Amino acid sequence: MSLLSVKKLRLKYGEQIIIKDASFTLEPGDFACVVGANGSGKSTLIKGILGLIKPASGAIEFGEGLDQTKIGYLPQDTRPDANFPATVEEIVLSGCLGHMKMRPFYCHHEKKHAMESLALLGIENLAKHSFANLSGGQRQKVLLARSLSATKKLLILDEPSNNLDYKSRKDFYKTLAKLNKDQHLAIIMITHDLDADDLIGNKVIAIENGAATIAKTEEYLEKYK
């Protein structure tokens, strides 16, 4: 069974239909870059998958033990107040809040998973550091680790490179590619970087005129040369 199956999905804000027809499947280990013009509905599609927008019609189906509470999400605006007195470990642990329901304290398993997320990104040495004192690239890795604390199956990112310089963006993309390959983690990433080197996944979800379709990356690039 597919990890994620989107069938004839329609999404709207108010009375306006933004996504008219989204139909695609995502398999375990896929890495899909979501592309489209500004205002085409990229973020709307993601919010629909996350359950933040109720479908007007169509269906979103999950397999492989996945549901909307087990998706890691890195939204576009992810900049906590730099002066907020939180350690890296505390920031990463907050990614577990969606699992906790009414439970007030983190359990041993959640603390262990948070540290494993930091270790996957090679920043476990920063655990006790203040988030406010980190560089932009380090902060983005911490926020990625927070998202990983919520999932072992599907990570969704909304233009994660927006606030990074060129080198930090390339390093961040390498990190995502490694997570996808080594952890068999499925990834959906909205991107405005349309160069072949930046479409780092094996698939592309293209949104045009309200329709979202999926293709292998090489097929997409060949079509739009």
Q: What digits encode the pLDDT tens for the residues 191-215?
A: 987 776 779 999 999 999 999 999 9
For 26-66, what is each residue's pLDDT tens digit? 999 999 999 999 999 999 999 999 999 999 999 999 997 89
Residue 82 has pLDDT above 70, yes or no: no
- Measure the CA–CA gap between 96 and 81, rounded to whole angstroms: 20
Give this prediction's pTM.
0.89
- The residue extents of the domains of the chain are 1-66+153-225, 84-152
- Measure the CA–CA gap between 95 and 71, rounded to whole angstroms: 10
CATH architecture of 1-66+153-225: 3-Layer(aba) Sandwich (3.40)
Helices (H), 66-204: 88-93, 97-100, 108-120, 136-148, 166-182
Q: Cα angle vertex 132, ends 127, 136, to 5°? A: 90
What SS3 state is found at 71? strand
Q: Residue 157: name the closest of 193, 209, 208, 183 by CA.
A: 193
Q: Cα angle vertex 118, ends 73, 194, to 5°? A: 45
